[in-house]
Chains A and B, each alone.
Chain A
Amino acid sequence: MPELDAVDRRLIDELQGEFPLCAEPYAEVAGKLGLGEEELLQRLDRLLSRHVLTRFGPMYQIERIGGAFTLAALAVPEGRYEEVAAQVNALPQVAHNYRREHTLNMWFVLATETPDGIGEAIARIERTTGLKVRNFPKEREYFVEMKLGVRA
């Protein structure tokens, strides 16, 4: 696990809140944390390049602009796991992908700009991998909160 100092931790927690929409937002957040703007930008850059943060910016809900998300899964034979992971990840519609311990051992989220895009992406994955995709579209969202405090 990468080393995080106390400032990094506060920064990660703070940046999971609402980032300001103003001319100099980094300066505003830096002020709250008692840092200089330049130091904040350097730390943020380092956290992104070390993959402590996977991204920083607006998180879009593609359903609200006519697109679609779904969660889908594959049962991948162990001997083909790396090959299939590369085939699935190659699609830009795959927003994230996790290995999980189950017969269904690959779980990925598809995000497409149109509802039809989901079916097309699934058909393409089935064609490329020769495996059956199980599709688990969201029927109802009860709660989503993507913030996690730093425990490291």
Chain B
Amino acid sequence: MEQYKDLIFSASFFFVIIRVCVPLMFASMSAYTANLSGLPNIAVEGIMLIAAIMGVLGSVWTHSAWLGLLVAIASGILMALILAFSAIKLKTTPIMGGIALNVFASSFTVFLLFVITGSKGTTASLPSKVLPTIHIPIIKDIPILGEIISGHNVLAYICMITAVLVYILVYKTKFGLHMRASGLDENAARSVGINVNRVRFTSLILSGILAAMGGAYLSMGYLSFFTANMTASRGWIGIAAEAMGRGNFITVLLTTLVFGVFDAITNVLSLTNLPSELLQTIPYLAVFFAIIAYSIKEYNKKKRNNA
């Protein structure tokens, strides 16, 4: 136990937390933007997976990591549009559409993998590119802070910037108001002249882009290749975090952060002799207790206001 203490109480541990949180943050932002407009996107996992492999393949075809990222994003938009089209135009239950896309993605990625590489495991045999890591000037020379914040993959910084942008979009712009209105009451929104369908299409495209960046981060930053089913439920965790936040963006992000922090702690604790089955439940339990604490606080606040 002693020997692993340094792994947690160090600057590099906070660096690891950021690295672990990035794909989760993208996933929860993706689930958030879709659900806010009233069209839940449970295909986050599938979109991430498709984008992860398309990013790698795109970078092989174009010899450029950035164009690879664009291919990943395009595939994410396409997936999201399929969901939006089937839900809005064809009146499919979005949940069923999402399940279909998830099932499709987990098999189709392995199929693509096999057709292109002849392997069902990884794209490691392809000369794929990786998005650059950024060492921020000045900040990187500050002790501790530099160690934590500098040296991440470029998508980690894009993730932070996107979080701010999504916040502004949702709470400070007219379109954000329309998104929230469409989600709260579609008929009321229509009655005041909001084109609900267009708002939802746009939100889904945004959701697709966010999920795709999360997927591309996994295969072009976190790792330098795609492996079958590498998302390993990160999309679902994003959806769960979104549900916990109940429409409040900050709560969504905090829930994701709690999960990411405890996931990183679990990765350290797994080196100790504690039973691994128990350890693997820690991040989920942490979120569970965090949400109970949050609910109690909210409940008390309401009670005080009513009194």
- A and B from one assembly? no
B residues whose Cβ falls under 8 Å from a Cβ of A: none
